[in-house]
Amino acid sequence: MSTKRPDYSDNQHSILYAETSGCCPLCAQPILFSKKGSKRLTKGYEIAHIYPLNPTPIQAKSLAGRAPPPEINALENVIALCPTCHTKFDKDFKLEEMDRLRSIKDGFLAEAKARTTAAQYAIQEEIYTILDNIVALDGDAPEISPARFDISTVDKKLRVGMSPLQKHEIKMYAVNFYVRIRDHIRLLEQNDQLAIRIMQNQINTYYLEMQKQHPDNKDAVFNFVAQWISSRTGRSLLAAKVLTSFFVQNCEVFDAGAE
């Protein structure tokens, strides 16, 4: 007996549309459009099941050994696709394409969970001035002596679980900005040492929550921490990434020697 496709509510449509940022996850085409002569937006997407709703005999053969999700019609198993990509996915079903969609959807779900978590964590006002100071810094970084900086700390923390490109970005920010951020934090500590300790604990606590959610993905942890700092302060994501890189080096993000 086949499983019925439900009528998803307007709120569910809003969630599925929002997670795509308005573009088909497979072809990047807009999934809302205006018809010629009309100012109203028209829905240009369909709700596709990642694990097939009612597998055909051929699909069932491909899916042998793959358990279906607990709730086949749950939002966790559907994604908004343009009609062309939806039809191609269903008609020319391939496990690798299903796995690709599953990975994309899992990314959407992780981002949504991180945003929800971010709203629950406050951040000290002192971090605003640190970010503003980062933005105001010129591009000529002073030479850092080995006595003042040890890049091996970053290397140990990022030995596994992080992509080479992300690792390179963190090391670049750490080398170029570490001393100046540290010196600025020391100035702030002279006015209110307790506030700086609270700020460091807040960052470490949010990092631990992200590590709990993504234990094997340091790229995701780093970027979600930076996004949290940016969203809570209204400062640029770039400045937030620079500051997060400082805390990688300064033992607040990623445990030294962590595997």
Flag whether pLDDT at 146 surpasses 50. Answer: no
Flag whether pLDDT at 56 surpasses 60. Answer: yes
Residue 258 lies in a domain: no
Residue ending a domain, among 118, 141, 164, is: 118
Q: By the 8 A CB rule, do 34 and 41 touch? A: yes
What mean pLDDT is predicted for residues 112-116? Answer: 90
Helix-helix angle 83-91:95-118, to 10 degrees:
130
Q: Which of 20-24, 76-80, 252-256 has the lowest mean pLDDT?
A: 252-256
Residue 113 sits in the same domain as residue 131:
no
Write the DSSP symbol of residue 120.
T
Residue ending a domain, among 118, 146, 173, is: 118
What domain range is 148 assigned to? 126-249
pLDDT digits (tens, 9 = 90+) for 206-225: 999 999 999 888 999 999 99
* CA distances (Å), origin 102, targets 48, 69, 96, 212: 11, 11, 10, 21
Those residues whose C-beta lies under 8 Å from the C-beta of residue 148, and which sit 6 or more positions away, are: 179
Helix-helix angle 218-233:126-136, to 10 degrees:
100
Residue 110 sits in the same domain as residue 178:
no
Q: Which ranges of the chain does DSSP label H, i.e. alpha helix?
A: 10-19, 57-62, 83-91, 95-118, 126-136, 152-157, 164-191, 193-213, 218-233, 237-249
Residue 180 sits in the same domain as residue 230:
yes
Q: Confidence band (pLDDT; 50, 70, 90) for 176?
A: confident
* CA distances (Å), origin 109, targets 10, 25, 34, 50, 54: 19, 14, 28, 14, 24
Flag whether pLDDT at 143 surpasses 60. Answer: no
Q: What share of the chain has pLDDT > 70, as a percent?
A: 90
What mean pLDDT is predicted for residues 112-123? Answer: 88
pLDDT at 151: 65
Q: By the 8 A CB rule, do 247 and 146 touch? A: no
Is 146 in a helix, a strand, or coil?
coil
pLDDT at 83: 94
pLDDT at 162: 87
Residue 255 lies in a domain: no
Residue-averaged pLDDT of the chain? 87
Residue ending a domain, among 91, 118, 145, is: 118
Task: Pick the more confident residue, 149 or 49.
Answer: 49
Number of independent structural domains in the chain = 2
Question: Cα 174 vs. chain centroid, distance in angstroms?
Answer: 21
Residue 95 lies in a domain: yes
